A and B are shown apart, each in its own frame.
Chain A
């Protein structure tokens, strides 16, 4: 319930569709990933790319040497000597062989590097995500986070495995060809440079245009996907209202817009290739004409062979440039994706300065609590002090909130001066309208959020001193929105206690009154659940989630609308089982069904973040206050 409130009070941070903000920083960071684990490999790759590019350039120089040095002198000879030619061809074959081997090596190595880097990034991203505070998940849409793992990593893969080697090899080729051009003829080189500038200018224009539409296309896709998701989610409602035609109309509008933007984006991207290619041809014609004129007039010592090979060189010069320009769009998109991924990785993790830990304990002969490695059913808080001594406090489940204030953001306090004392074994219930702060209180106890003011003590220890993992391990939670995982029923229940035996799982299921229906499932406990247990009814899913909490056997239990979808008869049975389980332990219950909370030791009535009434059922009824009104139906809950 509180989740809903948060969503409406906290603005969602939507990452805008755009290019990268700080490209150089992102590139640096990306390169650090590449070089971190693969320094040697990467160095080897660069050498191989260099060799392979040089072999490519050599092949065009080779032609000139062949024509000028071997073929032309031999023309007209009656008995030509082919040894020189053979040596040249064989030398070339050797160079080519090195080129081919280099290509093979760097392609293979690049696979290992790019996949390795992607795996590192993926794992690190997921690992870091596990450390993020709940607040992060409140303020970021799941769809956006999902796309970091899908679209963004995918563009990244393309960039690392294709764009980076291509750009590097193109750069090497450009430098090498440029050197060869300068060596052949400086004047013709200048002409090439001028025309290249023109080509690049035009190329940039087109790339910019297509980039603009690619971003528009992304936006359109997001809008269409959003609409599709909403409509398909509500498809059954659409059917019940015969609203199909209207649902089609809305879709058609977005679909049309997406089509327009996709056409524009692809149009410019498609045109880029022919434009660059043909401008290369134009350049070729230009050099031939100018070079021819210069050669004929004998200017600058231009030979025929020089012009011929220069023409070949100029083609080799424009090709890598147009290749790089084709990569630019995908590089920009990949960098934007990488930046989003890095933003997630840079999100501040949940802090945990706790040092009090939860340990298995037993009583020694003097009745003192001591630590023990085996599971005894007795738990203790291990509290190390500054002076080096360690004290053990028995885990009892005494939870006290004193004058707690809290707000999801600083300007809007949602809990005011809340004090709750739950003694071991007590059942404490919270009732109140949506947004009154019921779930929020329980979220403070397990430190999903940190309080703004006041104190929360657990068995007398300030919960800020307790290690979060140990704190949460001591609290069993059953939420209204049940989440099951893909896997068997058995695995899902075992999620509460990973080393639970089958018998422990059965026992927990029985306590939750889930055993009966589970055995009716096609494969009983081994039935596969998929899509969040979509084959089960809401009530059955809740029963499994109760069993999951039961198997964990925690000293303190939080039940947040845990039985709202279960009929009252079954609920009564479940409750009996739970009461047995929780005898002598502390339970926090949130429910809108007042029959659920009636037998609580203390009932807290919340209104707008304040506790306005407290006491047991009889006392509150006798007071004729808000609870009485709620109970008699004069006010609406929820």
Chain B
């Protein structure tokens, strides 16, 4: 898991290595400096030797400057390495998501992918910086400080050997108790965010049903459980500082008492006593820091897991080797196709589909809510793979095509469609980057979008807000159709894409299709019979099965469902444009 993450360090390897190097050098300097300070007292001040004071003082100043340099360099490289690591990590995940199939996307919710790419990466970034700086610095400091204190006075340094294991044990024990509580706290935090988010989205529902108090209670419960767990965890963590202080104070007292005796017995100097005491501080401080790093790392573990989950997710739809790059024509054939979203579902979403569609045909698809109309068409550009059977486009199984080639030729206007922030032109060019302005106008005319675009002050340069909130539903749908047309596809699929367009414009769009792109196979899912009644072939789907296939007139005679839908829409109707 960790190795997978570390492979994202990439070009920041140099910085990631230099950081601990400079941290080590800085730590060494930090050990030398107290030594010089002790020297200054013993050789200079105590002996009233101004020359020695100046000499050692000068040396001290020089070491300080060197230490400052190392410190600054390590800080610099740490920043570069951790920010770079985060950048690569984000990029790796984002690229991975770009390769996700629809099934992969369905598995993760949008919100969770966004948190993984943002908050979780930031957590890991901070932990990484901690590791390459403090987690290196502390052991180094600990090691050298111990060596130095032993070289100053081995007997007195034995005090450390008694205190450190006890302290380390207590600190580890605290972490062990606290960790599971913290994990629980973070899960509860997710819940809290969820309550707030749903409340924000559904504020009109909340207010309409006068459920403000109910929501307060719901929030209050989660909030209280965070309070309870967090308090519990932090109360245990509150032992950290006093335990640490006790260790420091015991060490100072022991060293002072024993040291005083040694000084009096002339086996030690006051300066040595002073520097020993500053080593006490340093050693115990670094232990303390180390325990903090430990806590940080365990906290960020959850984030690491969530990131690796994305990195480990393998797209289940990939192009074959030597894949077919050319789509011959727009014919489609379903041969005993079964499909379900889950790999082992009790019931197939599509069951035993057999169907042949000739290139250039217009095919209407009608069916009730949940009759699997969308699933049916999503198989064609291989957004999902069939579970059983085979689906051929242009005479070749879709799984044998290069995916990009297939999707370039099978254009699909999704039911839940999205425009992106940017101008109309930019949005349209999603269909074809190199399209000329004339071409844009041409497809917009086809999709009956040119008229309303021309009424905008900025025409084709009108800026579309995120999610296309500044155009109406009908306008958005026609822009999406135009965008798909720009691909010059061999197959065009409209998944309920004209539901917000009035019947007249709808008819104009279909007329334009008939006249301007006669060779393109057109599949149209619609709720309105009028949208499909002039199709060459209409498929009635019911509960994942084909209930009937035929022309409008044929189905009116033979198909009960079709009849019922037709009459439910035309009952009392004066006319149908």
Contact = CB atoms under 8 A, between A and B. Distances in A.
A569 B504 contact: no
Interface string B236-266: 0111111001100100110011001101101
A150 B125 CA distance: 18
B473 A636 contact: no
Given A228-B118, A569-B564, 16 more contacts: A8-B469, A62-B256, A99-B249, A103-B245, A104-B242, A108-B235, A111-B237, A115-B230, A126-B196, A235-B110, A270-B79, A307-B41, A308-B270, A495-B211, A630-B502, A638-B473
A145 B200 contact: yes
B94 A248 contact: yes
B224 interface: yes
Interface string A540-564: 1001010010001000000000001
Nearest to B78: A270
Contacts of B197: 142, 146
15 contacts: A71-B264, A75-B263, A96-B253, A119-B226, A126-B219, A150-B193, A224-B118, A237-B414, A244-B98, A267-B75, A289-B53, A473-B210, A567-B565, A568-B565, A633-B502
B369 A567 contact: yes
B198 A434 contact: no
Contacts of A96: 245, 249, 253
A194 interface: no
A308 B577 contact: no
A372 interface: no
Contacts, number: 442
B194 A85 contact: no
A271 B76 contact: yes
Given A142-B200, A569-B564, A295 B500 contact: no
Interface in B190-204: 192-194, 196-204
Interface stretch (A276-284, A393-401, A410-418, A578-586): A276-284
B235 A111 contact: yes
A131 B465 CA distance: 29
Contacts of B455: none
Contact of B201 (A224, A312, A483): A483
A198 interface: no
A371 B13 CA distance: 78
Contacts of A500: none
B205 A232 contact: no
Interface footprint category on A: 35 or more
A431 B90 CA distance: 47
A341 to B, nearest CB: 13
A152 B414 CA distance: 38
B144 interface: no
A164 B352 CA distance: 69
Interface in A93-152: 93, 96, 99-101, 103-104, 107-108, 110-112, 115-116, 118-119, 122-123, 126-127, 129-131, 134, 137, 142, 145-146, 149-150
Contacts of A571: 568
B44 interface: yes
A129 to B, nearest CB: 8
A439 B110 CA distance: 29
Contacts of B237: 111
B454 interface: no
Given A149-B193, A270-B78, A273-B75, A240 B407 contact: yes
A486 B202 CA distance: 12
Interface in A467-484: 469, 472-473, 475-477, 479, 483-484
Interface in A1-52: 1, 4, 7-8, 52
Given A240-B412, A288-B44, A292-B45, A273 B274 contact: no
A495 B205 CA distance: 10
Interface string A218-232: 000100111011111
Contacts of A552: 209
A367 interface: no
Contact of B198 (A111, A149, A224, A486): A486
A228 B227 contact: no
Contact of B277 (A63, A295, A633): A63
Contacts of B100: 235, 239
A221 B83 CA distance: 12
B436 interface: no
Contacts of B212: 130-131
B350 to A, nearest CB: 15
A565 B502 CA distance: 16
Contacts of A637: 474, 500, 502
B408 to A, nearest CB: 6
Given A4-B469, A632-B574, A262 B504 contact: no
Contacts of A267: 75-76, 79-80
Contacts of B50: 292-293, 296
B40 A225 contact: no
B400 to A, nearest CB: 18
A266 interface: yes
Residue among B82, B209, B216, B246 with max Cβ neighbours from chain A (10 Å)? B209
A111 B67 CA distance: 37
Contacts of A469: 210
B370 interface: yes
Contacts of A230: 420-421, 466-467
A196 to B, nearest CB: 16
A567 B372 CA distance: 13
A172 to B, nearest CB: 15
A568 B528 CA distance: 8
Contacts of B230: 115
A572 B564 CA distance: 10
Residue among A72, A89, A242, A476 with max Cβ neighbours from chain B (10 Å)? A242
